[in-house]
Structure 1
Amino acid sequence: MPWYKAGTVSVVQNSNTVNGTGTSFVTNSRVGDAFRGPDGGWYEVTNIASNTTLSISPNYIGATNAAGGYAIAPMQGYPKDSADALRALTNQFGGVLAVLGNDPTQAGVRAALNISNSDGIPEGITNKYLTNPRVLASVLTGLDAGASGAVVATDSIIAAFSKLQVAVNKTITPAQGGVSDGYIDGLIPTWNSSSSITFSPGAAFIPSTGKNLRLSAPITISGIGGLNPDVFYFAYLYENAGVAAIELSPTVYSAPYFGRARTKAGDSSRRFICALRTGAGGTLYGFQLSATNMIFYTTNTSITPFRRLSGGTATAYTAVGLGPVVPQGCQSVVLRVSAAGQVVFISVPAAGSSPMMIADAGARVQFDFVMDGNMAITYAVAAAGGSATIDVCGYGMER
């Protein structure tokens, strides 16, 4: 091996410390090497502290030198020591190296050990050799949608899942303590402003799933604006990614599917909650819900579009359409009737000339009433010289 001579060294007479400049003692010398100092004398390397510091023996006997030349010469003991070390290593780990195979690659070692995949590894109680993504991606082969009965200790995981799936999806009939298909509770609308409404917690039966959907906390729809003017919007409860939600849509509801219960037309996953009317500006009219589920307009109802008849003088029963301010299919309405000069009779088309409500001459009365399927009522003034004015003040929240 060549001698190492890079850089210079600083030595002090009678000191065993050698400081190098531009040296790499750690990688180019060993304890036991011979150090030839600037004085030409030979010393044994006894310690290598760093690339720039080593110790010698005996202490340096030459004159102090701050930047002298030097040489480090390896001794002949290296080949034998190396051979002895290699022999010991081979004896200790030769068998292990043989097991690792002859291919010096990761794939080669895995192949030699038969661990290219988990098939070559005995499965233990704790480690199943599946990553979390693979566990989550495992398909439920054999899941039985028709399984029944209680889960027992001898069931496999798939069998238990099958039973639980059936139990979760089972529809409970009213006779079993469930609710009817028309069930709805809570979900009361509150007007905050022309651009904001809040619905209270509640629940309703959703026909598409055959189960109830629960809204556990109030939900506010805000930023309402730019709606179609002078029409009804319909609030629908639906499930959005497993969470109850409410949408406001101009799409009218379907015909009742159970009692007065309705869904969005063409979409049985959306259960009707209430209908709310917009004004000319495309925002919602103010409203207040009564204890009898009547929605009262909280705006001036003595003007268009709420005034449905102004000074009517017909003495024969005449139809008055209420549709513009009463939602389609609604049967209940809040009327205000003013009778001027004569008694005014109020009825519905099917009743013919039989009065269902009478407003005395000079009276102004407000009352809950009914309409026919076309959202119409009839009126008649008792005799010539009188007149009737009819305003719509609200309508039923029929759901």
Structure 2
Amino acid sequence: MPAGTLVLTNNSDVVSGAGTAFSTELVAGDFIVVTVGGITYTLPVKSVDSDMQITLISKYTGPAQSAVAWRAVPRETQNQVTAALVAQVTEALRGQNYDKSNWQAVFSASGDITVILPDGSTFSGPSWNKIVELLNSIDPDAIQALADQIHTDALQVAADRVDVDAKAAQASTDASTASAASASAVSANTSAQSAKTAAQTAQQLAEEARDAAQEANPALQLTKSANLSDLSDVPTARANLGVYSKADIDVRTNGFIRGLDAKIIYDSTISANRITVNPGAAYLPSSGSILEVPSSITITIAQSALAASTWYYVYLYSNSGTPAIEYSTTAPIEYLAPYKTKSGDNSRRFLFCFRTNANTEALWAMAVGGKYRYLVDYGSFCRVLSGGQSTTETAVNISSYVPSFAKFVNLQLFNASGTGAMFVYTQLSGQAVTVRPNGYNDDLPLISYPNIYYKYSLAPGSAAGFIDIGGFSFER
């Protein structure tokens, strides 16, 4: 903690110090952080006038206060935070662009495609259009007709073989009868040899035709009317083609959900709340099918249509084949753990939830997958503990900002006490997060809903502990 204390004057850009050394602890562009009345103010420094006085870039808007403890945040620290945030956002956008390009190729390209995997490597294979074209090119009727013709030819060759054998026997008889006449015998012998050669050729052809007929056994052929149901091993055939039956899809995807990230804001210009759900897809148990959402869906809710301080739940459904969303005070239930639908209506797939304040304004928030974050710093509105001083484990109810099915809660903690450490638990007598005189922000597992617990190691002597809810995580 820097030396000395501050004197703050409402609507003034001049800050005076008592026992301070501004000239050695601050430079222009740094920030000072103070807490007045339970509210944290971050004030940018325009100039350091002396050890006892600085000038701010903008005027202080809080109430006048003296003997205020303060902290210094160097300009370089702020720059590092901003740079890290930009890098993370850029990486996330790059991944989204890869996903969009990959799925576009899978759904619309012809022939073979190459997709980019999350680690930067690539994978090549057929697009869905190519798979469909391959299946459509199979003509079982033509194959069956060819097999029938081969079978008929084989029967004819077998009959010809019998006839040839008979002729060969007759030729042998004729040769014996003409043995007295050498000229006739030679001629008969030549005829016999020719007949024998023809018989051997016919026998070879018959055997080849028999083999071909066996290989084209009608029992092994597919019929178009059976629509591939006459395959001997349907699952293996589908696996070889990389496609699945409806039953297979049900087994693999009866909890499927992709994308469908959402945002809700309150638009003061029209006194209405606006929900936007991004593209994606989800399995609907009622129809046993996947509903694709190709483009964003936005609905506007009049402020008068919502109740104050109330949880609302947003669901996806099919409106005669068109993706649509609705909001309701009816909470979701699990139809197949952990996947959720609207209680009493499994045609509505749960997406996310939101809460209104006392003026029926929706708290600004964004839901990405199963992670929910409040987008506006509501100060005391999202605060569940203000100035806590208890030295015994004390319950803090969080149900106003976290639904019952949440798995993790995002806590923003601040300990204003300079004498004692604050401990925060998500389970009574469980392992605690220790918050010394500084801030803490992290997701903690939610075990004892609707309560978390806190206590101080020593009596802090004044209002000291503050807990704000930054959001929560859930499964949908």
TM-score, normalising length: structure 2: 0.44
Matching of residue 200 in structure 1 with residue 275 in structure 2: no
In structure 2, the residue matched to 1:317 is 393
Amino acid at match of 1:395: F
Amino acid at match of 2:281: A
Matching of residue 184 in structure 1 with residue 257 in structure 2: yes
**Separation (CA, whole Å) in 2 of partners of 1:153 and 1:334:** 58
Question: C-alpha displacement at 1:302, in angstroms?
Answer: 2.1
In structure 2, the residue matched to 1:222 is 300
Contact 1:329 1:375 in 2 (8 A): no
Question: C-alpha displacement at 1:151, in angstroms?
Answer: 9.8
Amino acid at match of 2:253: S
**Separation (CA, whole Å) in 1 of partners of 2:373 and 2:387:** 23
**Separation (CA, whole Å) in 1 of partners of 2:335 and 2:468:** 31
**Separation (CA, whole Å) in 2 of partners of 1:395 and 1:303:** 18
Superposition pairs of residues 1-399 of structure 1, within 5 angstroms:
152=223, 170-173=246-249, 179-191=252-264, 193-194=266-267, 195-226=273-304, 227-254=306-333, 256-289=334-367, 293-304=370-381, 306-341=382-417, 342-349=420-427, 352-360=428-436, 362-372=437-447, 374-385=449-460, 387-399=464-476
Contact 2:356 2:363 in 1 (8 A): yes
**Separation (CA, whole Å) in 2 of partners of 1:318 and 1:280:** 26
**Separation (CA, whole Å) in 2 of partners of 1:373 and 1:180:** 32
1:283-322 deviation line (CA, Å, top 9, x unaligned): 31112346x7432222333213x21111222222222110
Structure 1 pair 309/151, CA: closer, same or farther in 2 (3 Å)? Answer: farther
Amino acid at match of 2:429: S
Contact 1:274 1:398 in 2 (8 A): no
Amino acid at match of 1:184: I
**Separation (CA, whole Å) in 2 of partners of 1:296 and 1:170:** 37
CA RMSD of superposed structures (Å): 2.8
Amino acid at match of 2:326: E
Question: C-alpha displacement at 1:259, in angstroms?
Answer: 3.4
Count of residue pairs brought into register by the alignment: 231
**Secondary structure of the equivalent of 1:372?**
coil
**Secondary structure of the equivalent of 1:179?**
helix
Structure 1 pair 338/321, CA: closer, same or farther in 2 (3 Å)? Answer: same
Q: Percent identity?
A: 30
Question: C-alpha displacement at 1:282, in angstroms?
Answer: 1.8
Structure 1 pair 275/339, CA: closer, same or farther in 2 (3 Å)? Answer: same
1:35-66 deviation line (CA, Å, top 9, x unaligned): xxxxxxxxxxxxxxxxxxxxxxxxxxxxxxxx
**Separation (CA, whole Å) in 2 of partners of 1:269 and 1:219:** 18
Amino acid at match of 1:179: R
More helix by share: 2
Contact 1:331 1:371 in 2 (8 A): yes
Structure 1 pair 153/219, CA: closer, same or farther in 2 (3 Å)? Answer: same
Structure 1 pair 365/302, CA: closer, same or farther in 2 (3 Å)? Answer: same
Q: Tell which structure's C-alpha radius of gyration is larger.
A: 1
Question: C-alpha displacement at 1:173, in angstroms?
Answer: 4.3
Unaligned runs of 5+ in 2: 1-220, 227-242, 268-272
1:223-277 deviation line (CA, Å, top 9, x unaligned): 44221111111110111112221111111112x3333321111111111000111
1:12-55 deviation line (CA, Å, top 9, x unaligned): xxxxxxxxxxxxxxxxxxxxxxxxxxxxxxxxxxxxxxxxxxxx
Structure 1 pair 171/211, CA: closer, same or farther in 2 (3 Å)? Answer: farther
**Secondary structure of the equivalent of 2:339?**
coil
List 4+ stretches of structure 1 deviating above 4 A.
150-155
**Separation (CA, whole Å) in 1 of partners of 2:353 and 2:475:** 9
Contact 1:276 1:284 in 2 (8 A): yes
Contact 2:352 2:367 in 1 (8 A): no
**Separation (CA, whole Å) in 1 of partners of 2:470 and 2:284:** 31
**Secondary structure of the equivalent of 1:172?**
helix
Amino acid at match of 2:455: A
Question: C-alpha displacement at 1:170, in angstroms?
Answer: 3.0
**Secondary structure of the equivalent of 2:400?**
helix
Question: C-alpha displacement at 1:332, in angstroms?
Answer: 1.6
In structure 2, the residue matched to 1:161 is none
**Separation (CA, whole Å) in 1 of partners of 2:329 and 2:465:** 33
TM-score, normalising length: structure 1: 0.53
**Separation (CA, whole Å) in 2 of partners of 1:269 and 1:171:** 19
**Separation (CA, whole Å) in 2 of partners of 1:152 and 1:193:** 60
Unaligned runs of 5+ in 1: 1-149, 156-166
The worse-fitting range, judged by mean Cα deviation, of 261-270 and 216-225 is 216-225
Contact 1:331 1:370 in 2 (8 A): yes
Amino acid at match of 1:322: I
